[in-house]
């Protein structure tokens, strides 16, 4: 069990202790609450492990504009940001996502302005206090850094050796191993080398969801495709909303309040249930390796046509649509074929279940045919 947060520990106390060569158990226990409060990536880690990480790691204050890690270098440690922010830059080459060779001017350790920073590629991420970086290379066969990380302000880091990371932290951080294992199985990533999948991992957002929480909502803008890594999702459609979204001219006009009351009075409970069903039709359950947002992506729709709800505890990964497009454009390991065939299958079965009226079903199938030509 973690101790209660103590408001009495200041950053000054923490820094003083980190600078000491020897740290007693008592001293470490005193600063632990500060770590749990400020270092997001320690939240899942037990007290004993956090103490060991602090003891075995090096405290490093870094000046603003300094290059901390460089893309293409071999990495043997990772970093936890105690205070400050960093920017992450990545260069893309034709065939891989990392820089194979240094270019003139890139071996500088201090970069003062935007122009100098741009030599390291495009800014892909900004990380702040409590975040970690530099552990992605541990999962690659050649241990090469995937990106360059530069201090945006004066920084305070904890430098964690890769062995310490493997023993004390690897299992706790973001289910990385689980996700990589999952990517091996998923048809979406079939045909891509392991190292490339590791790079992709950093570009995806992992979400843990509890039973009943919404993964996506019908009508929301589609910004990413969601991949189910663990658990099961229930897909629901509100047919009325669907008609508006897809501008279908089916004959299912919504009932007025008076019409609804009359129906319920006339036919009782069965009618009430039917009215409820018209609002929300469960069209499918999705499991591991299945995708949410693939239909919208393939059909070029900007809004979700379904609401997806977690039917169990879940782990999902979101990949932004432009990342998916890159995945397909760069080296299509059969991704577009896979997406098109699954989407065709899904549309047929959902059109059947979504509505009983032949006309509306016809319209959905018609939309499908038009888009697949
Ligand atoms: N989009 C990104 N692509 C690659 N690395 C990133 C990205 N965002 C953050 N990083 C971090 O930048 C680090 C660079 O070194 P590593 O490859 O060891 O680990 C990398 C990640 O921790």
Ligand 1 contact, 146 CB (< 6 A): yes
Is the distance from the beta carbon of residue 88 to the nearest atom of ligand 1 less than 6 Å? yes
Of ligand 1's listed atoms, the one at least distance from the Cα of 203 is 1
Are residues 119 and 103 in contact, defined by beta-carbon separation less than 8 angstroms?
A: yes
Q: Residue 330: CA atoms inside 13 Å, Cβ hemisphere, count?
A: 17
47-89 pLDDT, tens digit per residue, is 888 898 899 999 999 999 999 999 999 999 999 999 999 999 9
The 10s digit of each residue's pLDDT in 119-146 is 899 898 899 998 889 988 988 888 999 8
What pTM did the predictor assign? 0.67
CB 175 within 8 A of CB 105: no
- Check if 11-92+106-170 and 201-238+280-354 are the same fold: yes
| Cβ neighbours around 89 below 10 Å, total | 22
How far apart are the C-alpha atoms of 342 and 321, rounded to whole Å? Answer: 17
Q: Whose CA is nearest to atom 22 of ligand 1?
A: 133
Q: Which among 285, 287, 282, 346 is positioned nearest to 315, based on CA atoms?
A: 287
Cα separation, 157 vs 172, whole angstroms: 19
CB 315 within 8 Å of CB 207: yes
Mutate to test the pocket of ligand 1, among 139, 147, 174 (most ligand atoms within 8 A of CB): 147
**Residue from 277, 293, 292, 298 nearest 354 by CA:** 277
Residue nearest to atom 16 of ligand 1 (CA): 134
- pLDDT tens profile 168-184: 776 665 567 777 878 88
Q: Which atom of ligand 1 is nearest to the CA of 135?
A: 18
What is the CATH number that goes with domain 201-238+280-354? 2.60.120.10
In the chain, what are the domain boundaries? Answer: 11-92+106-170, 201-238+280-354
Distance (angstroms) between ligand 1 centre and the Cα of 78 equals: 10
For the chain, what is the mean pLDDT?
81
What's the Cα-to-Cα distance from 215 to each of 175, 212, 226, 314, 360, rounded to whole Å?
A: 19, 9, 9, 10, 26
Only one residue has tokens 């629901």, namely 236
Report the range of poorest mean pLDDT among 157-171, 215-229, 262-276: 262-276
Distance 31 CA to ligand 1 centre (A): 29
Question: For residue 360, is pLDDT > 50?
Answer: no
Q: Does 312 score more than 90 pLDDT?
A: yes
Contact 305, 296 (CB under 8 A): yes
Mutate to test the pocket of ligand 1, among 87, 146, 166, 205 (most ligand atoms within 8 A of CB): 146
Q: How far is the CA of 191 from the centre of ligand 1 (A)?
A: 23
Q: Class of 11-92+106-170 per CATH?
A: mainly beta
Closest residue CA from atom 19 of ligand 1: 134
Q: Name the residue at shortest CA distance from atom 7 of ligand 1.
A: 202
More confident call, 278 vs 310: 310
Measure 367 CA to ligand 1 centroid, in angstroms.
41
What is the distance between the alpha carbons of residues 136 and 120, in angstroms, rounded to a whole number?
18
Please name the residue that has the structure tokens 């979700």. Answer: 304
CA distances from 239 to 41, 68, 358 (A): 42, 53, 14
ipTM: 0.97
Determine the average pLDDT of the residues in 207-217. Answer: 93
Phi and psi at residue 3, in whole multiples of 5°? -70, 155
């Amino acid at each position: 069990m973690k101790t209660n947060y103590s408001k009495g520990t200041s950053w000054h106390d923490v820094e003083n202790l980190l600078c000491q060569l020897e740290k007693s158990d008592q001293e470490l226990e005193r600063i632990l609450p500060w770590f749990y409060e400020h270092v997001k990536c320690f939240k899942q880690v037990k007290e004993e492990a956090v103490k060991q990480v602090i003891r075995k790691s090096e405290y490093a204050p870094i000046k603003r504009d300094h290059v901390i890690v460089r893309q293409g270098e071999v990495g043997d440690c990772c970093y936890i940001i105690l205070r400050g922010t960093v920017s992450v830059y990545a260069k893309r080459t034709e065939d891989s996502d990392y820089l194979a060779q240094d270019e003139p001017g890139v071996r500088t350790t201090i970069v003062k302005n935007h122009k100098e920073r741009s030599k390291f590629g495009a800014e892909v991420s900004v990380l702040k206090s409590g975040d970690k970086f530099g552990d992605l290379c541990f999962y690659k066969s050649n241990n090469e850094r995937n990106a360059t990380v530069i201090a945006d302000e004066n920084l305070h880091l904890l430098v964690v050796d890769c062995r310490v990371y493997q023993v004390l932290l690897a299992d706790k951080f973001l289910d990385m191993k689980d996700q990589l294992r999952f990517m091996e199985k998923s048809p979406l990533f079939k045909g891509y080398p392991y190292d490339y999948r590791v790079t992709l991992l950093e570009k995806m957002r992992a979400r843990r969801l509890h039973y009943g929480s919404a993964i996506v909502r019908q009508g929301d803008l589609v910004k990413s495709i969601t991949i189910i890594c663990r658990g099961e999702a229930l897909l629901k459609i509100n047919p009325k909303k669907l008609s508006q979204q897809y501008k279908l001219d089916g004959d299912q006009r919504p009932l007025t309040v008076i019409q609804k009351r009359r129906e319920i009075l006339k036919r009782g409970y069965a009618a009430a249930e039917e009215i409820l069903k018209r609002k929300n039709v469960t069209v499918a359950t999705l499991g591991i390796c299945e995708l949410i947002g693939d239909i919208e992506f393939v059909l070029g729709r900007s809004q979700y046509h379904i609401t997806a709800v977690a039917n169990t505890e879940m782990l999902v990964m979101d990949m932004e649509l432009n990342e998916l497009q890159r995945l397909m454009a760069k080296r299509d390991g059969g991704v577009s074929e896979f997406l098109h065939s699954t989407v065709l299958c899904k549309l047929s079965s959902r059109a059947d279940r979504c509505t009983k009226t032949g006309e509306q079903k016809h319209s959905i199938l018609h939309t499908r045919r038009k888009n697949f030509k």
